[in-house]
Structure 1
Amino acid sequence: MSFALYMLGFLVFIAGVIWACVVAGVPQLYIMIGAVILLGIGILSAVSRTRAKDPPVPRD
């Protein structure tokens, strides 16, 4: 899976969480803090899941 596709899915997830928080009446400051934290988690997990594996080192 590509990094862009993974991040697109995670952004849709964050948008859904933000929408639910707005409907629930959560203050905007807390929504923004949560969104930034989720975005950081999304970037970290996308990089770790889509990173190419290092090729094996040939033995002599």
Structure 2
Amino acid sequence: MFTPDEIGAKLVQIELSQSERNVDVLKDDGFLLESPAAVAECVLQFILVKELLTAPI
């Protein structure tokens, strides 16, 4: 369906947007938009999916 290169490129895009989102977790007024636990859970889920998509056959 997708080549390994296409999957890798999309994963890089997702990682970049996720990194930006993690930096923007704090609003300008100092209140959290998401709990640190929720952010950590999202990161762990992404890592798991990335490992599954990039694992050798």
- The root-mean-square deviation of aligned C-alpha atoms, in Å, is 3.2
Give the whole-Å Cα distance in 2 for the aligned partners of 1:23 and 1:29.
Answer: 10
TM-score of the two chains, using structure 1 as the length reference: 0.49
Identity of aligned residues (%): 8
Aligned twin of 2:32 = 27
- Structure holding more helix per residue: 1
Aligned pairs, number = 49
Structure 2 CA distance for partners of 1:44 and 1:51, relative to 1, 3 Å: same
The gaps in structure 2 that reach 5 residues or longer are none
Structure 2 CA distance for partners of 1:38 and 1:29, relative to 1, 3 Å: closer
For 2:32, the aligned partner's letter is: P
Structure 2 CA distance for partners of 1:26 and 1:15, relative to 1, 3 Å: farther
Q: 1:52 aligns with which of 41, 51, 56?
A: 56
Give the whole-Å Cα distance in 2 for the aligned partners of 1:43 and 1:37.
Answer: 10
Q: 2:46 aligns with which of 35, 39, 42?
A: 42
Task: Pick 1 or 2: higher relative contact order, CA cutoff 8 A, min separation 6.
Answer: 1
TM-score of the two chains, using structure 2 as the length reference: 0.51
The gaps in structure 1 that reach 5 residues or longer are 54-60
